[in-house]
């Protein structure tokens, strides 16, 4: 028996780890809000590296773009080229600052429309796989960020905090297939749940068949899930599907926030309210 | 200890690349899975209990930064390790081409296993179109990246072998 265990110890260990993984998945699915100390430790340990690489990447991208723009200038214009490069870099820096300033102004403007605890955060990393849609932000529990907090941008809903460490947090995007937001169609007040559909955007489910929903309708948060403030824009209906025999209809929703280009977000505690129509809710 | 340090450093580097740099590349949303390449390397060269644990931890680390439930990638990586280990015991997979093919197949298996678990435990909205778009390209990019990654890891083998002998 001992000899059998010794000879097959690797396969037995793998078998044990496979069962343990299934147990982890099952536990994680049943109690998604349970705090996982190892995940928090990894998030915290990786944060400075992710922030450093993200910053270095932004700087390299700026230099690369600058280089590409300058390729093709003739040799006799060397002096002019050097000057142009210098000015280009300067303009690029100014552009970056202006862009960043614009983002922050928008975020600040949006923040002032919210009544409640809010935290500004920067994106420091994205999901390591294509089958899920999440991102990492540079603010964590020390900054007041907690699991279940809403994450918004001036353009609309971004997602929800699903894991935190002291100085970082992971955000499940509204386009992830595990995400769900209680929502209403702004024009007809038809209610449903907006769930993620990965690269296809989102879908609004559980809409009664008789409800008035049309392409171009804006979809906003209902505030009834206790996570997202009422009246924040989620997106716009791009297609409505009615099953012939079903009681429900389904609407495809294109998220209003540019989730691929986000740099700064606002983390909002449950219970926050929109003081004035931030992005269109009446 | 040296092996552990080398693989910890490789795991951190792979995670940083997968969560930042890969997203800037024009791969149409596909993310090359460096952690999987490390897992295949463990299955080929670390025929120890530590290798199996290492594969599990690679998946757990990926789960920690992923939107899915904890354990999905840990399960898939453990399975890939076991399959690569069994394959390498029965078949000769020591040349570059067979390793590239092995990484390609491992990537396809891992993705299918994760999707299978998602279908069982979570919601599958949008998963099939994403799978169709990324399955082959991700596997192909991972396979293409495997020779340099294997070469880098092989260059550290004399350090780990010295440790094994000691």
Distance of CA A84 to the CA centre of its chain: 38
The full length of chain B comes to: 166
Strand partners, A125: A136
Using CA atoms, how far apart are residues A228 and A226, in angstroms rounded to an integer?
Answer: 6
Interface size, chain A vs chain B, as Cβ–Cβ contacts under 8 Å: 189
Task: Assign B77 a pLDDT band (cuts: 50, 70, 90).
Answer: very high
Using CA atoms, how far apart are residues A76 and A61, in angstroms rounded to an integer?
Answer: 27
Cβ proximity of B33 and B135 under 8 Å: no
A100, pLDDT greater than 80: no
Cβ-defined contact of A132 to B68 (cutoff 8 Å): yes
A142, pLDDT greater than 80: yes
pLDDT given at position A281: 45
Q: Mutate which of B61, B67, B72 to test chain A, going by most A C-beta atoms within 10 A?
A: B67
Q: Going by C-beta distance under 8 Å and a sequence separation of 6 or more, which residues neighbour residue B69?
A: A24, A25, A28, A29, A32, A178, B63, B121, B122
Cβ-defined contact of A163 to B125 (cutoff 8 Å): no
Share of chain B above pLDDT 70, in %: 95
CA angle A272, A274, A279 (to 5 degrees): 135
Contacts of A11 in chain B (CB under 8 A): 82, 85-86
For the record, the structure tokens of B43 come out as 């299955």
Contacts of B56 in chain A (CB under 8 A): 17, 20-21
How many secondary structure helices (H) and strands (E) does chain A include? 4, 14
For the record, the structure tokens of B94 come out as 């020591």
pLDDT, tens digit, for every residue of A102-133?
777 777 777 777 778 889 898 989 888 888 88
pLDDT given at position B34: 92
Using CA atoms, how far apart are residues A85 and A68, in angstroms rounded to an integer?
Answer: 11
Using CA atoms, how far apart are residues A59 and B13, in angstroms rounded to an integer?
Answer: 19
CA angle A270, A271, A275 (to 5 degrees): 125
**B57 interfacial to chain A (CB closer than 8 Å):** no
In a 3-state reduction of DSSP, which class is residue A149? coil
pLDDT given at position A280: 45
In a 3-state reduction of DSSP, which class is residue A185? strand
ipTM computed for the complex: 0.85
Of A196, A124, A103, A190, nearest to A157 (Cα)?
A: A196
pLDDT given at position A262: 85
pLDDT given at position A278: 47
Task: Assign B165 a pLDDT band (cuts: 50, 70, 90).
Answer: low
pLDDT given at position B136: 86
Q: Which of A72-76, A177-181, B19-23 has the highest mean pLDDT?
A: A177-181
In a 3-state reduction of DSSP, which class is residue A260? coil
A205, pLDDT greater than 50: yes
- Mean pLDDT is lowest, of A252-261, A273-282, B132-141, for A273-282
Average pLDDT over residues A47-75: 76
Q: Going by C-beta distance under 8 Å and a sequence separation of 6 or more, which residues neighbour residue A272?
A: A114, A115, A116, A117, A118, A150, A229
Cβ proximity of B96 and B147 under 8 Å: yes
- Mean pLDDT is lowest, of A27-41, A106-120, B151-165, for B151-165
Residue given tokens 């606002």 in the structure block: A266
Residues of B (80-119) whose Cβ lies below 8 Å from A? 81-82, 85-86, 111, 114-115, 117-118
Task: Assign A17 a pLDDT band (cuts: 50, 70, 90).
Answer: very high
Contacts of A38 in chain B (CB under 8 A): 60, 64
Distance of CA A239 to the CA centre of its chain: 23
pLDDT given at position A76: 61
pLDDT, tens digit, for every residue of B99-143?
999 999 999 999 999 988 888 888 777 777 777 777 888 889 899
For the record, the structure tokens of A18 come out as 């496979």
pLDDT given at position A194: 93
Give the DSSP H or E segment for A180: strand A180-185
Using CA atoms, how far apart are residues B12 and A245, in angstroms rounded to an integer?
Answer: 52
Distance of CA A169 to the CA centre of its chain: 11
CA angle A147, A152, A156 (to 5 degrees): 145
B166, pLDDT greater than 60: no
Q: Going by C-beta distance under 8 Å and a sequence separation of 6 or more, which residues neighbour residue A2?
A: none
pLDDT given at position B85: 93
């Amino acid at each position: 028996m001992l000899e059998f265990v010794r000879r097959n110890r690797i396969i037995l260990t793998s078998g044990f780890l496979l069962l343990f993984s299934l147990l982890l998945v099952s536990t994680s699915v049943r109690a998604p809000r349970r705090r996982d100390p190892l995940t928090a430790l990894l998030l915290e340990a990786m944060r400075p590296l992710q922030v450093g690489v993200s910053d270095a990447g932004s700087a390299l991208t700026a230099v690369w773009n600058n280089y590409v723009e300058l390729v093709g200038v003739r040799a006799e214009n060397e002096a002019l080229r050097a000057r142009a490069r210098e000015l280009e870099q300067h303009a690029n820096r100014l552009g970056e600052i202006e862009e960043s300033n614009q983002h922050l102004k928008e975020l600040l403007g949006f923040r002032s429309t919210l009544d409640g605890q809010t935290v500004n955060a920067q994106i420091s990393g994205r999901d390591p796989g294509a089958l899920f849609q999440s991102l990492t932000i540079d603010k964590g529990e020390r900054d007041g960020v907690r699991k279940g907090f809403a994450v918004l941008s001036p353009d609309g809903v971004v997602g929800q905090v699903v894991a935190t460490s002291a100085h970082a947090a992971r955000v499940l995007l509204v386009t992830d297939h595990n995400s769900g937001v209680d929502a209403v169609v702004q024009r007809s007040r038809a209610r449903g749940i907006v769930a993620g559909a990965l690269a296809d955007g989102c879908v609004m489910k559980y809409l009664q068949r008789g409800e008035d929903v049309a392409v171009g309708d804006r979809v906003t948060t209902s505030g009834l899930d206790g996570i997202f403030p009422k009246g924040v824009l989620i997106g716009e209906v791009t297609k409505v599907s009615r099953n012939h025999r079903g009681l429900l209809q389904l609407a495809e929703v294109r998220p209003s926030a540019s989730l691929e280009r986000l740099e700064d977000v606002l983390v909002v505690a449950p219970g926050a309210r929109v003081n004035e129509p931030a992005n269109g809710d009446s | 200890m040296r092996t552990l340090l080398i693989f910890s450093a490789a795991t951190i580097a792979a995670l940083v690349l997968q969560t930042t740099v890969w997203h800037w590349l024009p791969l149409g949303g596909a993310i090359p899975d460096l952690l999987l390449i490390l897992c295949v390397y463990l299955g080929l060269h670390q025929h120890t209990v530590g290798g199996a644990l290492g594969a599990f931890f690679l998946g757990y680390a990926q789960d920690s930064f992923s939107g899915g439930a904890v354990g999905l990638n840990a399960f898939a990586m453990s399975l890939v390790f076991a399959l690569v280990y069994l394959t390498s015991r029965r078949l000769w997979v020591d040349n570059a081409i067979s390793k590239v093919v092995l990484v390609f197949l491992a990537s396809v298996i891992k993705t299918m296993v994760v999707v299978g678990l998602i279908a069982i435990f979570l919601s599958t909205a949008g998963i099939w179109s994403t799978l169709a778009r990324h399955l082959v390209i991700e596997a192909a990019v991972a396979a293409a990246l495997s020779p340099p990654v294997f070469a880098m890891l092989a260059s550290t083998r004399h350090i780990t072998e010295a440790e094994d002998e000691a």
